[in-house]
Amino acid sequence: QMHPQQPPIQWGGAIMWRGTTPGVPVRSGASFVGVGSLRHRVVLYPISPPDPATGLATINWIAEITVDNAEGWTQGDWNRRVELSDFAHHFEGWDFGWLDVPSMLRGAKEVFEYPMIDRDPVPTWVDGHVALLGDAAHVMYPVGSNGASQAIVDARVLGASMLSHGVTPAALRAYDERLCADISALVLRNRGAGPFGLLGLVDERCGGVFDDIEQVIPAVEREAYMARYKAAAGFAIETLNAAPSTIAPGARIAA
């Protein structure tokens, strides 16, 4: 209604299968792991603390491939429950010792299929007394784990704007001016590769096969790449921790 001329939902050809499986968290115990290439990968991370008795946490995983999107999304549903046999063959042999992908996929009680979709950014999130936030404002590819967190940031910035301008259209305009342009750029950045661009670099340079990652992408280059993404997405830890609260504790809008 706010942007009736906006183009249709954009699907770039990526299909995701998502599930959760009990497993042992890897590396730090809270690490986000991406394995594979830009067009064929698995991502996983724990979403619960390990059980003290078993050491197993709930591991959230996403298995993904990219296919030709010339005919558009033909499945009808934007999410649907599927059988393991519908997609597991794409990941046969993905057993790296420290990570057995086929076993992880089999351990899920249920799996759902989603096309990876977004929409073109809009020039404004505000129309008079109405403001969009979260996915309504900036639905984006889930490649940087920042869709839900950005919705929280939106709400905090909107609240801070109301503290400064009252519950007025001016507050909505200030919120829009603060976030819309920058987050629109992030939508387009995620449509590219987001943080998974590192996997693309590895693939380009050695076909994904190496003995020493330092000979392919040195640590300083990896860290610089991720620092650029974190800064664009608002995830720069030192900057976040040093910043004042978006809304001061106890702040209230005057009646």
Angle ∠(99,144,46) on CA atoms, nearest 5: 40
Residue 90 vs residues 36, 98, 125: alpha-carbon distances, Å: 11, 19, 40
CATH number of the domain that 23 lies in? 3.30.9.30
Based on the fold, state whether residues 130 and 195 are members of the same structural domain.
yes
User: What pLDDT shows up at residue 197?
Assistant: 81
- Are 48 and 110 within one domain? yes
| Same domain flag for 148 and 56 | no
Predicted TM-score of the model (pTM): 0.79
- Which of 84, 118, 152 is a domain's end point? 118
Taking residues 23-46, report their average pLDDT. Answer: 91
- Residue 184 predicted with pLDDT over 70: yes
3-7, 12-16, 90-94: which is most confident: 90-94
**Overall average pLDDT of the 97-125 stretch:** 94
Residues 211, 229, single domain; the answer is yes
pLDDT score for 76: 66
Please report the pLDDT score of residue 255 as a whole number: 67
Same domain, 188 and 206: yes
Residue 178 in domain: yes
Q: Is residue 90 domain-shared with residue 23, that is, in the same domain?
A: yes
> For residue 221, is it within any domain?
yes
* Predicted pLDDT at 230: 76
Within a domain: 4: no
Domain boundary residue, one of 59, 89, 118: 118
How many domains does the chain contain in total? Answer: 2
Q: State how beta strands 33-37 and 40-46 pair.
A: antiparallel
Calculate helix-pair angle for 169-192, 147-165, nearest 10 degrees: 160
**152: three-class secondary structure by DSSP:** helix
Whether 1 is in a domain gets the answer no
User: Domain limits at 220?
Assistant: 126-242
pLDDT tens profile 133-178? 999 999 888 776 677 788 999 999 999 999 999 999 999 999 999 9
Q: Is residue 247 part of a domain?
A: no
Return the sign of the alpha-carbon dihedral for residues 30, 92, 197, 201.
positive
The answer on 234 and 141 residing in a single domain is yes
In a domain, 210, yes or no: yes
Q: Is 14 helix (H, G, I), strand (E, B) or coil?
A: strand
Instruction: Tell me, rounded to whole angstroms, the distance of Cα 139 from its chain centroid.
Output: 11
- In percent, how much of the chain has pLDDT > 90? 62
194 in any annotated domain? yes
Closest CA relative to residue 176, chosen from 158, 190, 151: 158
66-104 pLDDT per residue, tens: 998 887 777 767 789 999 999 999 999 999 999 999 999
Residue 236 has pLDDT above 80, yes or no: no
Helical H runs in the chain? 101-106, 135-138, 147-165, 169-192, 197-206, 213-216, 219-233, 237-242
Choose the final residue of a domain: 61, 83, 118: 118
Average pLDDT, the chain: 90
> Phi/psi at 37 (nearest 5 deg)?
-130, 180
Please report which confidence band the pLDDT of residue 254 belongs to, taking 50, 70 and 90 as the band edges. Answer: confident
Instruction: List the one residue out of 48, 58, 63 whose CA is nearest residue 101.
Output: 63
Same domain, 111 and 130: no
Per-residue pLDDT, averaged over 193-206, amounts to 84
- Whether 248 maps to a domain, the answer reads no
Is there a single domain that holds both residue 107 and residue 152?
Answer: no
